[in-house]
Structure 1
């Protein structure tokens, strides 16, 4: 691989996954209403690059080999840790606990319906499917790609203006990235991401994952 290709890929990675989140964060007053469209356009752009790459195995976008087994493993992780997290929110932030389902039920239901489509799918295409394939030439170790994708996934959530969102996303990014390494399946990680995200919006932590009005 030529030095120019290496430089191009590193420049692209830094521009898309470091500079862009900081720029949006800095000018958040201008971008607040455009976060979902920006995410959607980035997702479509990354998908187009993947589909144009002959070395990309498109089956990763839909295959379901051993999907049930991996989802059972995801549930084994989710149930105890989600229960513990719910207890922590109840004890530490009782004012947030179940705030949306109890006080804004229609907003909660609408969020659970549209969130996997407009947010989770683009994020998994960008931060897992695209990132793991696109940058394997400059990050040949899949564990290096896992660590890097986890880091930039959390960094992207700086746009919400709080460190809770970043920390939650670092933990989530590590889980979803590891699952993707195991499965090479976008649908599996989309389902696991949607499960955790829907739980966060339900239990009360979703208030950290929206732009404060």
Structure 2
């Protein structure tokens, strides 16, 4: 499976320093591995420290490590990134600040929604649960798989590539809180739907028996 983060085009950045530039991918999705590179143009300067910033806050300080690695991007990684390098040439110290680059992490797929058909099931009737979501058009080849839950327990076997789960019959004791999870295989991104309360109505024959 190809690594999505290797398929991006590096965006040009207008730097504050002509000695230091910052390189970052122009397209990032949830789950991608992202490399933000603080690149110096003149090799005769000796790097002492490299500080990486996001939205003005320092997020990494290292000795001579020019790259900031985001192992698995999430939406909250979106922001303005920059770097500051402290270097020396002999006895002469120098500190340079790169220009900033905006990284926007996009959703790989939408948060799923659980739908129930029929909406108000009756005892003994079949019910179909559907975990509805949609992949980003730019990542439409990603593989999705699904799992369904009732009151914290998985229904059937996880994980299935089908977004539907057909229950041959439901009864009053099957009433409860239902939800589903959708996830991609590579990269591994998992999202859970909101919970839905399903109340199974008693059939007419059962209601007449209780009278």
TM-score (norm 2): 0.24
Structure with bigger RCO (C-alpha 8 Å, 6+ apart): 1
* Structure number with higher helix proportion: 1
Greater strand share, structure number: 2
Bigger Rg, which one: 2
